[in-house]
Every structure is written in structure tokens, then in C-alpha cells.
Amino acid sequence: MRYSGIVIALMVACKAAPPATTLPAYEEDLSVHRPAMDSLTLDSNDPKTEEFVPLVGHIKAELDSIVRVSVAENKEEKLVDGFVIQVYNGNSRDRANEVWRLIDRNFTDLSPKISYHQPNFRVKAGRFTDRLKAHRIFQQVKEEFPKALLVPERLSMTYE
């Protein structure tokens, strides 16, 4: 009996109290800022609404022309998935030239190329569409250049 009185007292004490004050709901009339619908209707007799008129001297027109040129170039250049062997990647031009000479001397059929992607020089050799053949030659190159990597790359079909 003694414990039941304590339990009842705790239950009464823990009862949630209603909020002290209640605020009215937020209301605001925004209709004064909406445009009138009659000003947005298009005149069907107006010739400008029937055909698209490109903007002249606007940045959108310039961007559209750049995109068109880029799309045309991409259609002309045929790319295939392939592999190249990256023999050197570093910021020393002299070392890149030295590696290029070694590859050109020891692996004549790979035709190495040096490219510069700021701030690094890269020496890549070979152009392979078959991964097995690329891996076979990569193992031979790796014996002489232990840091060489077999890298997937999009190859141009018109590339010499």
C-alpha cells in the first residue's frame, strides 16, 4: 500500500502541462506580389511567338556555338577503349626525356610519347586495344622500369 501511493504521486507529478501561451498561426497575404495572368498570355497573332529567335550578342548564343563546334569535333574523332603503359610520371623534364630515350632504344615498337599535364611530365608508351597483349608487353617493360603502370585510356583511331 505504501508503494502504490508513491507510484500514484509520481504519475500525477509527471503529467504533461499545457503550454503557457498559444501564439496565433502565421499568416501573410502574398497575392500582391504575384503577376497578373493576363499579362502573361501570349498573343497567337504575334509572329515572334511562332518561331524561335536566337539571341544575338548574348552569352547563350556564344556558348551554343562553342558546343556545336565541340560536338562536331567529337563526331569526327573516333575513340576506342584501350591501354597504354605509363613509364614515368614526375615533374622533371630531364628525367622524362631520359626515360623516353631508354624506351625508344629498348622497345622500338612502342613509340613513346611525352605529355605535360601541369605540373607533371608523363611518358607513355604503346597503344593497345587488347588487354592480354598489353599485359604481356607491360611485364617486359616492368622489368626495366619497376614503377611502370598499365593505364586504361581512350585511344584515337586517327592517332599515328
pLDDT digits (tens, 9 = 90+) for 110-120: 889 999 988 99
Residue 152 belongs to a domain = yes
C-alpha pair distances (Å), 33 with each of 29, 36, 116:
9, 9, 56
Can you give the pLDDT at residue 160? Answer: 45
> How far, in Å, CA of 125 to CA of 127, rounded?
7
Cα-based distances in Å from 10 to 7, 16, 63, 100: 5, 12, 73, 86
C-alpha cell at 49: 511567338
Domain range holding 85?
78-156
Report pLDDT digits (tens) over 60-110.
777 888 888 888 877 777 788 899 999 999 999 999 999 999 999 998 888
CATH code where residue 123 lies: 3.30.70.1070
Residue 127 counted as domain residue:
yes
Domain annotation covers residue 147? yes
Structural domains of the chain, count: 1
What CA–CA distance (Å, rounded) separates 8 from 108? 95
Answer yes or no: pTM beyond 0.95: no
Q: For residue 141, tell me if it sits in a domain.
A: yes
* Domain annotation covers residue 41: no
Task: State residue 14's pLDDT score.
Answer: 65
Residue 84 domain flag: yes
Examine residue 15 and state whether it is found in any structural domain, yes or no.
no
Is 72 inside a domain boundary?
A: no
